[in-house]
Amino acid sequence: MKNPELQGINIVLVGNFNPSIFQPVWFASEDLIRRGEADAAKIEIIHPDLAIFDIEGYRIEVNQIRFSISTTQAPYFEVIRDLTLGTFRSLKHTPISMMGINFLAHFKIDSEEKWHEIGHILAPKPPWGDALDSPGLRSLTMEESKRRDGRAGHLRVKVEPSVKIIPGIYLDINDHFQKPSGSKTTGSEEIMTILDNSWEASLERSDKIIRTLLEQYL
């Protein structure tokens, strides 16, 4: 199977954050990133309500209710996982209630015919009758509402025509975890344990989903 033309991973945490803490120099002082990386970071904004900056290979965005770290470069996939684990091991009293491990990829499809075929298979047109002229698939989201691993959360897969690779398919896999209802723990430990234990399985699952959907077209 061909590799994606573009791919990325995004870890999103939902909780209560203090954006002004999240500065490149803080990460360096905690030895979570290299000093040189902190010096070279491109800061877009550091504000009590919002922090956005790029460190070599990845991007961090934090507001009061959301922490997001993302990369489009494979050598940094584990780096952003480790940085997230390290950050919230240091800030272990930060309340975090949900986490998404999101895998995104754009695949090139060899021909428009194959590209249309994927749309026909995922969203058959006969049920639409004459309700629409030339109906086409714009976006499709499927959900596994009860996780296979028994954890609280869900898994969503979104398929769209790629706007970056033409003709191509865009896949966005949202592996969503949350604290089980009734959880009495506070802080970040529970979600960080899930991140540490589920990361590999999450990426393997994403790979399997992609193969199931696209292997015969790539």
Partner 1 sequence: MNTATATKIDRDTNAENESERSPIRLLDVSVRTRLRDASPPSDGSPIISNDEIGSESPQIDIPAPAAVIAFPSTTHPSPQFRPLQKWEGFVLEVRGNSFTARLVDQSNPGTADEEVELSLEEISPDDLALVAPGAIFYWNIGYETTSSGQRKRSSVIRLRRLPAWSAKDIETAQTRASELYKALQWE
19-58 binders of partner 1 (CB under 8 A): 30-37, 44-45, 47, 49-50, 52
CB 99 within 8 A of CB 188: no
Nearer to partner 1, 85 or 214 (CB): 85
DSSP for 143-194? Answer: EE-S-TTS-SEEEEEEEEE-SSSSSEEEEEEEEEEEPPTT----SSHHHHHH
Only one of the segments 144-152, 158-166, 180-188, 210-218 lies at the binding site for partner 1 (rule: CB under 8 A); that segment is 158-166
Q: Which is nearer to partner 1, 64 or 197 (by Cβ)?
A: 64
Stretch that binds partner 1, among 102-110, 144-152, 179-187, 208-216 (CB under 8 A): 102-110
Cβ 70 to partner 1, closest distance in Å? 4
Query: Taking the alpha carbons of 142, 178, 59, 70 in that order, is the dihedral positive or negative?
Result: negative
Residue with smaller CB distance to partner 1, 121 or 215? 121
CB of 15 to partner 1, least distance (A): 10
Q: Which of 22, 41, 107, 176: binder of partner 1 (CB under 8 A)?
A: 176
Other beta carbons less than 10 A from residue 187's beta carbon:
15
12 binds partner 1 per the rule CB under 8 A: yes
Q: Under the criterion CB under 8 A, does residue 166 sit at the interface with partner 1?
A: yes
Q: In this chain, which of 134, 145, 181, 184 binds partner 1, going by CB under 8 A?
A: 134
Q: Least distance from C-beta 150 to partner 1, angstroms?
A: 18
Within a 13 Å sphere around the CA of 136, how many CA atoms are in the beta-carbon half?
A: 6
φ, ψ of residue 56 in degrees (nearest 5): -40, 110
Q: Is the peptide bond before 48 cis (omega within 30 degrees of 0)?
A: no
CB within 8 A of 19, min separation 6: which ones? 46, 47, 48, 49, 50, 51, 62, 63, 64
Which of residues 165 and 218 has its CB atom nearest to partner 1 in the complex? 165
Minimum separation from the CB atom of position 182 to partner 1 (A): 19
